[in-house]
Amino acid sequence: MFDDKVRELPTLRWAMVGGGKGSQIGYAHRCGATRDGLFRLVAGAFDIDPQRGREFGVKLGVLPERCYDNYQTMFALESKRDDGINVVSIATPNSTHYEITKCALLAGIHVVCEKPVTFTLKEAEELKAIAKDHGLILGVMYGYSGFQMVHQARSLVQNNLLGEIRVINMQFAHGFHSQEVELNDPGAKWRMNPNISGPTYVLGDIGTHAFYLGQLITGLAVKKLCCSRQSFVKSRAPLEDNAHVMMHFENGAVGMLWASAVNAGSMHQQKIRVVGEKASIEWWDERPNQLIYEEQGKPSQVLERGMGYLDSHDDAISSDRIGAGHAEGFFESWANVYARFAVVINAANANDWQTVNATWFPDVDAGIEGVRWLERCVESADNDEKWVAYRE
Amino acid sequence: MFDDKVRELPTLRWAMVGGGKGSQIGYAHRCGATRDGLFRLVAGAFDIDPQRGREFGVKLGVLPERCYDNYQTMFALESKRDDGINVVSIATPNSTHYEITKCALLAGIHVVCEKPVTFTLKEAEELKAIAKDHGLILGVMYGYSGFQMVHQARSLVQNNLLGEIRVINMQFAHGFHSQEVELNDPGAKWRMNPNISGPTYVLGDIGTHAFYLGQLITGLAVKKLCCSRQSFVKSRAPLEDNAHVMMHFENGAVGMLWASAVNAGSMHQQKIRVVGEKASIEWWDERPNQLIYEEQGKPSQVLERGMGYLDSHDDAISSDRIGAGHAEGFFESWANVYARFAVVINAANANDWQTVNATWFPDVDAGIEGVRWLERCVESADNDEKWVAYRE
Amino acid sequence: MFDDKVRELPTLRWAMVGGGKGSQIGYAHRCGATRDGLFRLVAGAFDIDPQRGREFGVKLGVLPERCYDNYQTMFALESKRDDGINVVSIATPNSTHYEITKCALLAGIHVVCEKPVTFTLKEAEELKAIAKDHGLILGVMYGYSGFQMVHQARSLVQNNLLGEIRVINMQFAHGFHSQEVELNDPGAKWRMNPNISGPTYVLGDIGTHAFYLGQLITGLAVKKLCCSRQSFVKSRAPLEDNAHVMMHFENGAVGMLWASAVNAGSMHQQKIRVVGEKASIEWWDERPNQLIYEEQGKPSQVLERGMGYLDSHDDAISSDRIGAGHAEGFFESWANVYARFAVVINAANANDWQTVNATWFPDVDAGIEGVRWLERCVESADNDEKWVAYRE
Amino acid sequence: MFDDKVRELPTLRWAMVGGGKGSQIGYAHRCGATRDGLFRLVAGAFDIDPQRGREFGVKLGVLPERCYDNYQTMFALESKRDDGINVVSIATPNSTHYEITKCALLAGIHVVCEKPVTFTLKEAEELKAIAKDHGLILGVMYGYSGFQMVHQARSLVQNNLLGEIRVINMQFAHGFHSQEVELNDPGAKWRMNPNISGPTYVLGDIGTHAFYLGQLITGLAVKKLCCSRQSFVKSRAPLEDNAHVMMHFENGAVGMLWASAVNAGSMHQQKIRVVGEKASIEWWDERPNQLIYEEQGKPSQVLERGMGYLDSHDDAISSDRIGAGHAEGFFESWANVYARFAVVINAANANDWQTVNATWFPDVDAGIEGVRWLERCVESADNDEKWVAYRE
Ligand SMILES: NC(=O)c1ccc[n+]([C@@H]2O[C@H](COP(=O)([O-])OP(=O)(O)OC[C@H]3O[C@@H](n4cnc5c(N)ncnc54)[C@H](O)[C@@H]3O)[C@@H](O)[C@H]2O)c1
Ligand SMILES: NC(=O)c1ccc[n+]([C@@H]2O[C@H](COP(=O)([O-])OP(=O)(O)OC[C@H]3O[C@@H](n4cnc5c(N)ncnc54)[C@H](O)[C@@H]3O)[C@@H](O)[C@H]2O)c1
Ligand SMILES: NC(=O)c1ccc[n+]([C@@H]2O[C@H](COP(=O)([O-])OP(=O)(O)OC[C@H]3O[C@@H](n4cnc5c(N)ncnc54)[C@H](O)[C@@H]3O)[C@@H](O)[C@H]2O)c1
Ligand SMILES: NC(=O)c1ccc[n+]([C@@H]2O[C@H](COP(=O)([O-])OP(=O)(O)OC[C@H]3O[C@@H](n4cnc5c(N)ncnc54)[C@H](O)[C@@H]3O)[C@@H](O)[C@H]2O)c1
């Protein structure tokens, strides 16, 4: 069990920017990071409103003097303390990711940044370079990537049980924004604003999750793509609330991705199906403990988390917190990702780059590919939905 | 119950071309047509091999002298008999549909033709004109269109329970041809041969079914499309064994269709999901007695065939043969379609065109749209997968 | 494919008693019997109302003179005709089964009787003896027993893939009679009347189906049982609309059966789960093309009708009418059972008792066990729900 | 959201007895208790092996001097400290629960005890009395009772949406002990030993969970029951690895419970179905975010955690940690239960018994009923499976 090994690691001193009171994803970060005692929350600039942020931080057990008015102050002061933070998680709206991440890295602090990591590819590459120069980890919070069955899927592909990959179909399509709910929902509102959200809405907000899972499982590079996006709620233009993307991959495989916030009645429907010449696999985030494995000509199989037949040599697969049959969920996935961050941050602190390189975690390259994919989708969608090459 | 009314209709004298011993779909035609006593099989040219066809016909109870060597002779002789056939079903490989249908119509015989009805749009339009001139019915065997829950879906759309339609996603993607099985399977072999199959394989073989269901349910016209097709088993080129089609519809809706014969491990996965501004519906041909209806913000509902809450004023919905709960299947769908054919053929015989026009059945226009869609898909796929307008 | 072989058989001249206009199950008999050309409907006493029965029969294509006023006349006259009926199906309310069956057998006519075959064990044994004396087949219409995946389940048990059987849980529990619907539904009304229905309602009406499937799949004899039955709609007393039965089997296995007509909201929920020391199987009549096979410590498998991995040496399993993936249903199951009746009746006619004995079909012994089980259930339920030995 | 309110509560000083290194359920307690900052682990007697327990505790961040050799010492010393523990969770094998709980209560410490709370009813009643005398909370860790959809089920029953309850079917039936795995699995081994496990194995180990959920949802008292239990792996006798229990409830409802550890291939299959005169509900612990709600004559509905249509006035239902659609799981359920314990313990500390009484939590009465039910099951099973009255 992965956790047993990582539990020996030193606890990291951890801060958050954003994720304040009432925020959507702050709680998930705190649950994920602290779950195994690997991160201890000791500082924060939790809120755009400093006062509210401080009150919130204190309730979380952070010392008042380490609840900062803004991230700049926090990074400046913390980086001078002996017991200053090692790592910060950034859970603010998209437009701020680049600046905050850069500021943290320049202060010598490891970063876990929310997705999408920046608005442009250029910015993302720049952050990567800074992180590298300073010997720092820059992780990106693809929170679904900690599910064990996603890694089992990846392992089946890597062990060639599917044969050559032919088709990758991905989707993340909920219905919660079928109507103009942003009128009364600030958490939705900024997502429809290109200044804050960036050049996309559903593609960057949720499509990028499904895309990353497809990438993580198959490892296949996109060759070209064609994207069509719509603003079914008109006031959302130019940002889309629905998009279809057709893709060709370098190895000759093809695929589709459907991202939507207007898929009325659907909860999430994040599903990844990978079809190989011998078998297919399918994973669904609402039934995350199961993985369908279908060998052509054989009965379809339902693989279950925690079972002995899984590829248990892979830490990511065997990170069970409770026996098979019990429903693990979203928060365990996040904790698994954070455990990986702890491994690589501790390794980086020890200058052990071999471990960093040998350890899977959603790294800055994953973030860069996410941004590249969004850029290409927009380029296609906004140019008569023509096909565009994925790399220049 | 629909059946009660139609059972009063005179029995039609019916013949088949093709559908002989060992054929894939001949049995379905015979089951569907004879199920309710509306068609009686009295003649046939069942096989490319006349001797085998005759033996087979006799076993089916057809008089030896009405088991013909070929369709030309059959149409010529039967059209002269007082008790000659009223209608013929054509269940031969695709390349022959046009000729045989034309020959039958010119002999004054109603036709139920397999899909795709012709290779080209021009031919399909020609057949339509001939049928019209002769006052004959030309039906196309979209066999899945008889499922009651498909009609319930259509009714929900028509009654505006979904609101404006936004997204139509369709798929029919099995895995039976993941390998080059045609080497030992004649029924698969001709499908990979453009001379017999026509300009497409999976698009015309199965994609067209899902497309028709989408059309039937929503009634929305395609505006433009972009198609990507592949021959994952190389020897199948130029015919595709996998295709993705992106579509825009006239009302602003968008959609995707995935057709595949290499979706390893999948049985059928023919699924239609229609998303409206208020609700979505989803139907799956492997669970045909259920229809998912999901109103945004309400619990997802599972509608069941045979229940009192369905739109029972619609004949097509209330054609139950057995109470709710019992699994009806593929053959009941075919029988429902054939019952509709019986209605319109009898009406045409009585020169009652009002009934013909008021009755839903998969007609030649459905066949024409199927061929048009295939032409456009090929045009797109074979021109760098560019977008093409649906109508010239 | 089973059908190919049986299609060579001579067509049997067939009649019905009951199953008239508006009856619940008459259509299923006609569909099942005539589906493969093995039975031709040539006579009938279709209705308690002779006039209505005659009109109905004529519409079905039966000659007016062979639409009889009552079964007595029919058996008397038909048994004298050269082209008289070979076999009759009895689809009347339960109270009449014994008399009608006896009358038919004494007239030298094979019988397919609806379940439950009689009210008492004694009567059932008597019918068996008469059939035997006259060299006649007496089949019982357990219509779910023709589903191919039920036979695959049986084959898995017989081939010891489950190991020793430990638990057999069965249920058939719908909700259609949650309220006192019999006030306005004659087809429900007689079922609540002990004079017509017999000593039980749901146990005999539906529980017996699930019980038979359990018996068919496992072949295990009941040793003792304990039954609790209720009349949740009070006016139904003494007949039950809900019952639970606990059973011990001769080999040490145990089991439960739940039969209900007040399982609000449920369609059928007829499910059979058989647990062995190595693996379990589960079948559900609303998803009849699938069989779950779960080997302990391995991924759960979904077996699909029509696939090459099934035990195709067994005729009952390989009776596909259409390729895998297409939904077969209730009517195919009935046709499969009737095809078996055709095999054994033709064999009996040819005095080939070896074939009769070697062929599986739901025979009078199945009917007898059904009645015995009902007798024991009532004995237990009506004696303080005590345990009773299954055989005296 | 429940959590927001409870997060204001003072953090409780918490200890564990048992739940040491490699234990099955210790991690779940720690996750559940600490999840919301309501409990802080400050002491423990984690292991039967004091040295191993101390090492383990220190790794968890407990001061070495508060890692005690045994619970007696812990309670004695901690109860004297100003900053001594407020509450202890007991996660040791069953045989020790009574002694440890009693010892803790007598030392004035609140207790969360694992189930079954004692071996005998008498002991359980005694513990209740002691708790009451000392003004202490005695909670029982029915960990599945924190799932929000279980409380939605309860609310639907209480709001009479089902009408009078008629049938309650419960099961918890996994297959992990189909073979004699206890030979190599100490965590399984003690469960088969009556001296440690108590008078039952599967009934007390898992059946009691399903029984409690049934009780929690319906609130119906058992009137009489009949139990049959088996030791399919012979060496387990007299303890059962499979059991069926038939029950009558005071209001006239009936029910079944199936508990098994030999249900080969099954993961958990903990399911509760409650049937009322108007509607049924069904919940499954492997899909815990969904609740099926089936009104007779209407489409079946799937209710989802987190949605606005749920009974959000009920704290237990609205304790979402993340938006609807995301999979919450087992650990959230435990955290929800522990949050309730925090509420009542804090209330008890403040002498606010009104809050204690108004707050749902799995209390000692739930534990007592669990033990009573086990006693009655054994009484029945070991006396020829006769019916026994639930209360004397
Ligand atoms: N990985 C996932 O599954 C997932 C899910 C949801 C959101 N996200 C991402 O997380 C980020 C936050 O999304 P959210 O939905 O939680 O947003 P939110 O609007 O609910 O919360 C944003 C929080 O950031 C704070 N904030 C804003 N600007 C700040 C600043 N300059 N300094 C300090 N705090 C600041 C706000 O006060 C608020 O507390 C986004 O980038 C989003 O894409 C990821
Ligand atoms: N609607 C559906 O669901 C469905 C399913 C399968 C096939 N089809 C269509 O049905 C048609 C037949 O397909 P199939 O799979 O049954 O093919 P098949 O190869 O299995 O059978 C074709 C039959 O036609 C006979 N035949 C060929 N040429 C003939 C001729 N000139 N005259 C008389 N008989 C001739 C053959 O002898 C054979 O019996 C195709 O157009 C196919 O697209 C439709
Ligand atoms: N195998 C199954 O799945 C299944 C399903 C439903 C019914 N059944 C059984 O079938 C039998 C009939 O049930 P039903 O629901 O169709 O009943 P029903 O009341 O709907 O129909 C009974 C029919 O029998 C006719 N009839 C009655 N007495 C007659 C007589 N003496 N002579 C001629 N005709 C007579 C009636 O006129 C009517 O047409 C019952 O025994 C029932 O248990 C079996
Ligand atoms: N609520 C649930 O879902 C659930 C699940 C599993 C177990 N349980 C219950 O939890 C309890 C523990 O079960 P488990 O599977 O974790 O057992 P386990 O055998 O895996 O672990 C027992 C732990 O208790 C320790 N221990 C034993 N005696 C002790 C003593 N006298 N003092 C201190 N520590 C002692 C052991 O060293 C070990 O760490 C049982 O009562 C069981 O019924 C409940």
Give contacts of A258 with chain B, Cβ < 8 Å: 169, 256
Average pLDDT for residues D111-118, to the nearest whole number?
97
Ligand 1, residues A30, A48, A334: which to mutate, most atoms within 8 A of Cβ? A48
Q: Does D209 touch chain A (CB under 8 A)?
A: no
pLDDT at D331 exceeding the cut of 70: yes
CA-A20 nearest atom, ligand 1: 39
Select the residue of C264, C277, C294 nearest D280 (Cβ to Cβ).
C264
Name the residue at shortest CA distance from atom 30 of ligand 1: A48
Give contacts of D29 with chain A, Cβ < 8 Å: none
CB contact under 8 A, D275 and C294: no
Name the residue at shortest CA distance from atom 22 of ligand 4: D92
Q: pLDDT band at D388, cuts 50/70/90?
A: very high
Residue among D33, A383, C11 nearest D25 (CA): D33
Q: Are B113 and B337 in contact (CB under 8 A)?
A: no
Test the A interface: residue of B167, B172, B282, B387 with most A CBs within 10 Å:
B167
Q: Does A161 touch chain B (CB under 8 A)?
A: no
Distance CA(A195)–CA(A143), nearest Å, equals 24
CB atoms < 10 A from the CB of C64, how many?
9
Q: Does A312 touch chain C (CB under 8 A)?
A: no
Q: What are phi and psi of B29, to 5 degrees?
A: -60, -45
Q: What's the number of CA atoms in the CB half-sphere (13 Å) around residue D386? A: 6
CA-B23 nearest atom, ligand 2: 20
Ligand 1 within 6 A of A114 CB? Answer: yes
Ligand 4, residues D31, D92, D185: which to mutate, most atoms within 8 A of Cβ? D92
Q: pLDDT band at A340, cuts 50/70/90?
A: very high
Give contacts of C255 with chain D, Cβ < 8 Å: 244
Ligand 3 within 6 A of C117 CB? Answer: no
Q: Does D277 touch chain C (CB under 8 A)?
A: yes
Give contacts of B330 with chain C, Cβ < 8 Å: 322, 326-329
Low-confidence ranges of chain B (pLDDT < 50): 1
CA-D190 nearest atom, ligand 4: 19
Select the residue of B232, B265, B293 nearest A294 (Cβ to Cβ).
B265
Contacts of D300 (CB under 8 A, 6+ apart): B301, B302, B304, C265, D292, D293, D294
Q: What is the pLDDT of residues A70-102, one digit of tens each?
A: 999 999 999 999 999 999 999 999 999 999 999
β-strand partners of A273: A169, A282
Give contacts of A185 with chain B, Cβ < 8 Å: none
Subunits close to A (at least 3 CB pairs below 8 A):
B, C, D
Q: pLDDT band at A4, cuts 50/70/90?
A: low
Q: Are C163 and D179 in contact (CB under 8 A)?
A: no
Say what the pLDDT of residue B1 is.
Answer: 41
Q: Which residues form ligand 2's pocket by a CB distance below 6 Å?
A: B 17-20, 23-25, 45, 47-48, 71, 91-94, 96, 114-115, 141, 143, 187, 190, 205
Give contacts of A167 with chain B, Cβ < 8 Å: 242, 260, 262-263
Q: What is the pLDDT of residues A127-159, one digit of tens each?
A: 999 999 999 999 999 999 999 999 999 999 999
CA-B190 nearest atom, ligand 2: 19
Distance CA(C303)–CA(C284), nearest Å, equals 12
Ligand 1 within 6 A of A71 CB? Answer: yes
Total H helices, total E strands in chain C = 14, 14
User: In order of start, what are the domains of chain B with their CATH numbers?
Assistant: 2-144+340-361 (3.40.50.720), 148-322+370-381 (3.30.360.10)
Distance CA(C100)–CA(C71), nearest Å, equals 7
Give contacts of D244 with chain C, Cβ < 8 Å: 246, 254-256
Say what the pLDDT of residue C4 is.
Answer: 63
Q: Does A332 touch chain D (CB under 8 A)?
A: yes
CA of B88, nearest ligand number:
2
Token duo for residue D208: 């009691």
Between the CA of residue B74 and those of B44, B45, B53, B85, B105, what are the distances in Å?
7, 7, 13, 9, 13
Beta strands C222-230 and C110-113 are: unpaired
Test the C interface: residue of A291, A298, A304, A312 with most C CBs within 10 Å:
A298
Q: What is the pLDDT of residues C78-135, one digit of tens each?
A: 999 999 999 999 999 999 999 999 999 999 999 999 999 999 999 999 999 999 999 9
Token duo for residue B280: 């979505």
Token duo for residue C359: 């062929």
Q: Does D99 touch chain C (CB under 8 A)?
A: no
Say what the pLDDT of residue D3 is.
Answer: 55
What SS3 class is residue C245? Answer: strand
Ligand 1 within 6 A of A356 CB? Answer: no
Average pLDDT for residues D309-325, to the nearest whole number?
90
**Cα of A198 from ligand 1 centre, angstroms:** 14
Q: Are A226 and B385 in contact (CB under 8 A)?
A: yes
Q: What H or E segment, with its residue span, contains residue B56?
A: helix B50-59
Q: Are A270 and A284 in contact (CB under 8 A)?
A: yes
Q: What is the pLDDT of residues A170-186, one digit of tens each?
A: 999 999 999 999 999 99
Q: Does C7 touch chain B (CB under 8 A)?
A: yes
Orientation angle between helical segments A121-134 and A97-106, nearest 10 degrees: 20
Low-confidence ranges of chain C (pLDDT < 70): 1-6
Q: Which residues form ligand 4's pocket by a CB distance below 6 Å?
A: D 17-20, 23-26, 45, 47-48, 71, 91-94, 96, 114-115, 141, 143, 187, 190, 205
Label residues B159-168 b or e (16+ Cβ within 10 Å = b). Answer: eeebbebbbb
Q: What is the pLDDT of residues B181-237, one digit of tens each?
A: 999 999 999 999 999 999 999 999 999 999 999 999 999 999 999 999 999 999 999
Q: What is the pLDDT of residues C312-333, one digit of tens each?
A: 888 889 889 999 999 999 999 9
CB contact under 8 A, C266 and D175: no
Distance CA(B173)–CA(B270), nearest Å, equals 6
Select the residue of B297, B299, B303 nearest D293 (Cβ to Cβ).
B299
Residue among B261, B157, B248 nearest B209 (CA): B261
CA of B25, nearest ligand number:
2
CA of A24, nearest ligand number:
1
Say what the pLDDT of residue D133 is.
Answer: 97
Q: Does D156 touch chain B (CB under 8 A)?
A: no
Select the residue of D260, D266, D295 nearest C294 (Cβ to Cβ).
D266
Ligand 3 within 6 A of C362 CB? Answer: no
What SS3 class is residue A357? Answer: helix
Test the B interface: residue of C59, C330, C334 with most B CBs within 10 Å:
C330
